[in-house]
Amino acid sequence: MSRRAQTAAAPGAWDDMLKAVLIPNRAARVVREEPDGSLTLAVPTRKPSFFRGLINWLVRVPQERLTVLDPLGAGIWKSCDGKRSVEEIAVRFATFHHLSFHESRVSVTGYVTSLLRRGVLAVAVNPRG
Amino acid sequence: MIVCGAVQAKTGMVEWVWRQIGVELPAEWECLQFARDPEAGRCAFADRHRYRFELNWRKSPGEPDFGRMMKDYEGSLAKEWEGIRKVKCRGWPGLTGKRGGEVVSRFGKYLEEIGVLVEAVFIDAGERDDRLEAKILASVRAVPPEANGMQLWRAFGMEMRVPRTFELGECVVEPARVGMRFDGPRSPDRWIFRRYGMVKTWLKTPVREWLVSQAGELARNVKFKPGGGGAAQLERIEGEWRPKGLLLRRGAYAAAAWKSPEDGRLYHAICITGRKSSRFHPAAADAVMTACPEFLCIPAEGDA
């Protein structure tokens, strides 16, 4: 009780994040879909400015970056349709895999973060106001 | 011992027993923060959107002066809270007030049986929910060791009973993976309880094979024991525990694993002990052991 000033503070204010909507990158395309459900996505890359000109002629920069999603990840990616919120996706994932809400939330947001970094997804925070 | 925890959500309230303190909370509130320290600590529970409840504890040699404590509290919280006032609920003295957009209510009680001062903190987004507060406060209880020397723990979907001299040495909580290790006062005594989710996605072998693979190289001469059967398809193994090192004590290793038909999760219980025969008995004496009747453990004579 000595830490009374700290107690009941909510360090994990995840509410805004739950309301966010995930939008798939329209430029991303499915390269391959395996029978087990895993997916290979190709996302166009943007050339850094120094790659224009002479260096571009010497070094070939790949025009697309491939991202392989395992069956679980592919399921999450397919759920990101630009309409469903993170909360809805987490609930869906929890129901399908018999997880608790927060187990699912941590799994989904962790995975989504990696997809955001790879440019496969974009996030719209609180689009409904 | 461990029991499948899939029963939650059916009744609406689930009992949590941690560090000899029991409390019934809505099934959808999940523990997101916990402390292992027996002297002082906190467990914090959240619904989908925010923290809703905190259970703070501190060992205390005697009942504190609540009147004075509340006065001190009131003084220190007056800067942060608006409309602070004293309240009483189910015999628990407390304070309530507004902090930002939420109402926070704090109640304190001394649990004499276990010598622990408990503080229950409720956080509501809009208005204070007095009925829920009363229901939860009425459920707070001391859970001292049972007559057979076993201490009950009920957390993260597991119900465990360990010898009262065992301490919670480690607790790992990750999505679809929970593990709690209780260490005995003497090496190599340790009991480990694990619960895994999303089993269909990663368990590609029979539970029996998986159980043996988990024993590791320190468990030797592993033999299968008759399992509990039933819908859970319990598997059991026993062997010798031989740690690497001349001075490390050897002992016995026993483990059980089963897939719960209720929640589809995989449960894994491991018991490592320096004395073999006195620890295990295959009886179905405990009514709560619904999923794992074969893994009943009794304390050794010195532990009780």
pLDDT for position B273: 81
Split at pLDDT 50, 70, 90, the class of B227 is low
Q: What rounded mean pLDDT belongs to chain A?
A: 82
Beta carbons of A102 and B32 less than 8 Å apart: yes
Max CA separation in chain B (angstroms) = 67
* Segment A87-101, tens digit of pLDDT: 999 999 999 999 999
Beta carbons of B197 and A99 less than 8 Å apart: yes
Split at pLDDT 50, 70, 90, the class of B229 is low
Instruction: Please give the full DSSP string across A13-58, using - where no structure is assigned.
Output: --HHHHH-EEEE-TT-EEEEE-TTS-EEEEEE----GGGSSHHHHH
Comparing A44-48, A85-89, B6-10, B92-96, the range with the smallest average pLDDT is B6-10
Helix (H, G, I), strand (E, B) or coil at B260: coil
How many contacts (CB atoms, under 8 Å) link A and B?
72
pLDDT for position B285: 28
Beta carbons of A97 and B198 less than 8 Å apart: yes
Tell whether A6 is within 8 A of chain B (Cβ). Answer: no
pLDDT for position B1: 40
- Cβ-count burial of B13 within 10 angstroms (0-12 exposed, 13-18 middle, 19+ buried)? middle
Comparing A25-34, B162-171, B236-245, the range with the smallest average pLDDT is B236-245
Split at pLDDT 50, 70, 90, the class of B67 is confident
Residue of B nearest to A14 (CA): B49
Cα–Cα distance measured from residue A80 to residue A73, given in angstroms and rounded to the nearest whole number: 11
Beta carbons of A12 and B123 less than 8 Å apart: no
Tell whether A40 is within 8 A of chain B (Cβ). Answer: no
Tell whether A1 is within 8 A of chain B (Cβ). Answer: yes
Tell whether A13 is within 8 A of chain B (Cβ). Answer: yes
Q: In this model, does residue A104 exceed pLDDT 90?
A: yes
The average pLDDT across B45-70 equals 92
Nearest CA-CA distance, residue A10 and chain B, Å: 6
Tell whether A36 is within 8 A of chain B (Cβ). Answer: no
Residue that has been written with the tokens 């391959």 in this structure:
A32
B119 CB neighbours in chain A (<8 A) are 1, 7
Token pair belonging to B81: 């809270």
B111 CB neighbours in chain A (<8 A) are none
Residue of A nearest to B56 (CA): A1
Instruction: Please give the full DSSP string across B196-211, using - where no structure is assigned.
Output: E--HHHH--S-HHHHH
pLDDT for position B181: 92
B107 CB neighbours in chain A (<8 A) are none
A97 CB neighbours in chain B (<8 A) are 176, 197-198, 201
Beta carbons of B48 and A103 less than 8 Å apart: no
Q: In this model, does residue B203 exceed pLDDT 90?
A: yes
* Segment B9-38, tens digit of pLDDT: 445 999 999 999 999 999 999 999 999 999
Task: Select the residue from A91, A102, A111 to test the B interface by mutation, using most B Cβ atoms within 10 A.
Answer: A102
Q: In this model, does residue B288 exceed pLDDT 50?
A: no
* Segment B247-278, tens digit of pLDDT: 788 888 888 888 888 888 998 888 888 765 44
Split at pLDDT 50, 70, 90, the class of A13 is low
B104 CB neighbours in chain A (<8 A) are 8
Closest by Cβ to A8, choosing from B104, B263, B265: B104
Q: In this model, does residue B171 exceed pLDDT 70?
A: yes
Report in angstroms the alpha-carbon separations of B4 from A8, B172, B227, B230, B272. 31, 18, 16, 14, 21
pLDDT for position B195: 92
Task: Select the residue from A100, A105, A109, A112 to test the B interface by mutation, using most B Cβ atoms within 10 A.
Answer: A100
Cα–Cα distance measured from residue B137 to residue B13, given in angstroms and rounded to the nearest whole number: 13
Nearest CA-CA distance, residue A40 and chain B, Å: 19
The average pLDDT across B146-151 equals 84
